[in-house]
Structure 1
């Protein structure tokens, strides 16, 4: 299990109220989908990128870990292009608030 996968799995309990599905596009490190639309959030690999999600967050693995550790401000990261969001910005903000 990679460090990022482990960190995302540890964050799942905090995402129970998200009410949406989010893809993390980590570039060469793959894609992960957090499905928090049901009662218990789940994490899965998205090998082909064809799952229907509310938003996709494009970020490097290193920056995702920094974001989760509170070492990367989400607004600054977005402004500097370290975090790119496509889809629902509202869902992305709720997600960052829960994992950051």
Structure 2
């Protein structure tokens, strides 16, 4: 597992906290790997999910740090979404 994925799992776990997540979402960091968020928590994995969000490592880091707005990243093509848009909105609410 890459260092970027390891750090992203830690950052997402911290953001999620004790809130938990009852859906399933996958982040694909281009050239690095995938991260799953579901009822089991956050982990490096490439399982099926209700929504898949794909971005470069730089974009993903900016979103996690609050420097890049996820909606703006999506609208400008820096973040792509495949699957349930409602699930992506729910995830954004939990991680905000």
- 1:62 is displaced (CA, Å) by 0.9
Cα contact 1:18–1:91 (8 A) shared by 2? no
- Cα 1:98/1:4, change in 2 over 3 Å: farther
- Report the counterpart of residue 8 of structure 2 in structure 1: 7
* 1:1-100 paired onto structure 2 within 5 Å: 2-12=3-13, 14=16, 16-34=19-37, 36-38=38-40, 41-46=41-46, 51-100=47-96
- 1:52 is displaced (CA, Å) by 2.1
Secondary structure of 1:28's partner? coil
Aligned length: 93
- Counterpart CA distance in 2 for 1:10 and 1:92 is 18
**Structure 1 residue runs without a partner (length 5+):** none
**Structure 2 residue runs without a partner (length 5+):** none
Q: TM-score, normalised by structure 2?
A: 0.79
Displacement over 3 Å in runs of 4+: none
Cα contact 1:18–1:94 (8 A) shared by 2? no
- Cα 1:79/1:97, change in 2 over 3 Å: same
- Cα 1:42/1:67, change in 2 over 3 Å: closer
Q: TM-score, normalised by structure 1?
A: 0.76
- Superposed CA RMSD: 2.0
